[in-house]
C-alpha cells in the first residue's frame, strides 16, 4: 500500500521538475521512474545497459502511458552526460548507475573503481559545469561493514569489507567534500538495506543477467524450476534459527523514500546520509517459508557452509528517515514476495 499522505505532497511538489535517472533502466532506477512519472515529474533515463535490458524502457512507457526520454550511454562519457543535462534542462539527478556484485568486485576491483567512482566523478563534474547541484545517490548498508551494534544507525562507523563497498564510501566522501566546498550543493546519500519485490503492474522487476547472487532472485529461479535448490549459507549463526538475518525492504517503499529525499533537498543544502530499511530483520529460512506459503510454490533448500564475507545480522535504525524525511516503509514481507513472484513467474 502507498503512503498516501506523502504521495499527495509528491504530486503537489513535482511541478514537472526534470530529473535525470542514471541507471534508470536497472532494477531500482526503473521502479523510481514509474513512481516519479506517476507523481508528475519529467524523467530522463540514462543507462549503458551493462546490467539491464532496453525492453524495460518500453515496459515503463506501457505502465505510465507516457513517452519517456532514454539516452543510451555511459556516465564516464563526460561529453554525453553534460550534453544530456543541458539538453533536457535537468534540475536534479538520481544516481543509480553502478556495478553491484560483491564477488566480482573482489575479482576485478579496477573495473569497480573505474565504473562506480570514475563514473560518479564524471557525472558530478558535468553537473557542476551545468550548475545542477541537487543529487540523490544510491549508497548501501554495505558501507557499515561488520555491524558493531544493532540496529545500525547513520553514526555507525564506516568500514566496508570489499571493493564494491569501498566504492560507495569513496563516493560518499567525495560528495561530502563537495558539499563543504560549495554550500549550494544539496546532496542525499541513501543507504539501502536489502531491496526486494517489484512494481504492482508485474511488468518490471529484478531480473539479473547472470545466476543471481542475492537471495530473493535465487529463490524465484528455484520456485520456477530453473535451479534445483537454494543453498542456505549457514545455519550456525547466533540468530533465532541459525540462518542470516537481513532488513528486506519493498522496492516501492524504497523509491518513495527517494521522493521524500528529493522534497527534503528543496529546503536543505549540504551532505546528508540516511538509511532506507524497515527496521525489521528476517532470517533466510523465514524468507523461504513466507515466499513458499504466499506463492504456493515449492522451494527446496539445503544448508551449506557460510558464504565468505557474510554477517550474521543486519538491520537498520529507521529513526533518522522518519524524523528527517517523514517517511517510513509500509509494505510487509508478504507483499514483497508476491510482487516479486508476479513479475518473475511469467518472465523467461
Contacting positions for ligand NAD (CB under 6 A): 22-23, 25-29, 47-52, 74-76, 96-100, 115, 119, 138, 140, 192, 195
CB 164 within 8 A of CB 142: yes
Among 20, 45, 71, 232, binds ligand WQD (CB under 6 A): 232
Output 86 or 236, the one with its CB closest to ligand NAD: 86
Rounded Cα distance between 274 and 143, Å, is 12
Residue span binding ligand WQD (CB under 6 A) among the ranges 48-56, 127-135, 148-156, 224-232: 224-232
Cell of 183: 554550500
24 lies in the site for ligand WQD, by CB under 6 A: no
Q: Which does 138 bind (CB under 5 to 8 A by kind): ligand NAD, ligand WQD, none?
A: ligand NAD
218 lies in the site for ligand WQD, by CB under 6 A: yes
120 lies in the site for ligand WQD, by CB under 6 A: no
Q: Which does 98 bind (CB under 5 to 8 A by kind): ligand WQD, ligand NAD, none?
A: ligand NAD
17 lies in the site for ligand WQD, by CB under 6 A: no
> What φ, ψ does residue 152 adopt, rounded to 5°?
-80, 120
25 lies in the site for ligand WQD, by CB under 6 A: no
Single out the catalytic residue among 27, 41, 164, 237.
164
Contact track, ligand WQD, 133-152, x by CB under 6 A: -------x-x----------
Going by their DSSP bridges, the two strands 301-304 and 230-233 should be labelled as parallel
Annotated catalytic residue 164: yes
Rounded Cα distance between 348 and 345, Å, is 8
Q: Which does 51 bind (CB under 5 to 8 A by kind): ligand WQD, ligand NAD, none?
A: ligand NAD
Q: If you ran DSSP here, which 8-state letter would residue 229 be given?
A: -
Rounded Cα distance between 256 and 8, Å, is 12
Residue with cell 567525495: 174
Instruction: State how far the alpha carbon of 109 is from the alpha carbons of 71, 112, 140, 175, in Å.
Output: 27, 5, 17, 21
Residue with cell 518472465: 347
Q: Which does 115 bind (CB under 5 to 8 A by kind): ligand NAD, ligand WQD, none?
A: ligand NAD
231 lies in the site for ligand WQD, by CB under 6 A: yes
3-state secondary structure of 163: helix
3-state secondary structure of 305: coil
CB 258 within 8 A of CB 291: no
Residue span binding ligand WQD (CB under 6 A) among the ranges 37-45, 118-126, 211-219, 252-260: 211-219
Among 18, 82, 108, 214, binds ligand WQD (CB under 6 A): 214
194 lies in the site for ligand WQD, by CB under 6 A: yes
Output 159 or 228, the one with its CB closest to ligand NAD: 159
Rounded Cα distance between 171 and 12, Å, is 32
Cell of 340: 516479486
Report, as residue numbers or ranges, the catalytic residues: 164
Amino acid at each position: 500500500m502507498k503512503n498516501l499522505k506523502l504521495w499527495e505532497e509528491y504530486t503537489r511538489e513535482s511541478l514537472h521538475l526534470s530529473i535525470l535517472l542514471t541507471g534508470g533502466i536497472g532494477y531500482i532506477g526503473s521502479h523510481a521512474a514509474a513512481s516519479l512519472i506517476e507523481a508528475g515529474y519529467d524523467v530522463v533515463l540514462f543507462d549503458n545497459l551493462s546490467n539491464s535490458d532496453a525492453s524495460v524502457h518500453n515496459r515503463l512507457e506501457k505502465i505510465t502511458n507516457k513517452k519517456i526520454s532514454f539516452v543510451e550511454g555511459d556516465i564516464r562519457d563526460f561529453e554525453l552526460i553534460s550534453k544530456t543535462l543541458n539538453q533536457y534542462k535537468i534540475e536534479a539527478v538520481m544516481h543509480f548507475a553502478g556495478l553491484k556484485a560483491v564477488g566480482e568486485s573482489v575479482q576485478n576491483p579496477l573495473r569497480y573503481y573505474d565504473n562506480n567512482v570514475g563514473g560518479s566523478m564524471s557525472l558530478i563534474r558535468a553537473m557542476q559545469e551545468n550548475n545542477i547541484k541537487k543529487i540523490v545517490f544510491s549508497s548501501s548498508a554495505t558501507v557499515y561493514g561488520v555491524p558493531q551494534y544493532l540496529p545500525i544507525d547513520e553514526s555507525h562507523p564506516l568500514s566496508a569489507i570489499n571493493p564494491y563497498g569501498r566504492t560507495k564510501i569513496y563516493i560518499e566522501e567525495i560528495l561530502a567534500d563537495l558539499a563543504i566546498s560549495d554550500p549550494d550543493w544539496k546532496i542525499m546519500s541513501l543507504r539501502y538495506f536489502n531491496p526486494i519485490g517489484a512494481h504492482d503492474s508485474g511488468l518490471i522487476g529484478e531480473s539479473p543477467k547472470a545466476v543471481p547472487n542475492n537471495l530473493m532472485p535465487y529463490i524465484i529461479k528455484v520456485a520456477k524450476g530453473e535451479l534445483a535448490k537454494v543453498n542456505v549459507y549457514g545455519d550456525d549463526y547466533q540468530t533465532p534459527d541459525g540462518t542470516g538475518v537481513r532488513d528486506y525492504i519493498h522496492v516501492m517503499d524504497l523509491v518513495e523514500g527517494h521522493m521524500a529525499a528529493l522534497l527534503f533537498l528543496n529546503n536543505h543544502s549540504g551532505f546528508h546520509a540516511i538509511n532506507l530499511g524497515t527496521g525489521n530483520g528476517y532470517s533466510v529460512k523465514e524468507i523461504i517459508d513466507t515466499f513458499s506459503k504466499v506463492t504456493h510454490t515449492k522451494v527446496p533448500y539445503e544448508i551449506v557452509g557460510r558464504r565468505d564475507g557474510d554477517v550474521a545480522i543486519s538491520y537498520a535504525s529507521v529513526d533518522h528517515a522518519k524524523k528527517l524525511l517523514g517517511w517510513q516503509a509500509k509494505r510487509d514481507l508478504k507483499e514483497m514476495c508476491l510482487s516479486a513472484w508476479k513479475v518473475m513467474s511469467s518472465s523467461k
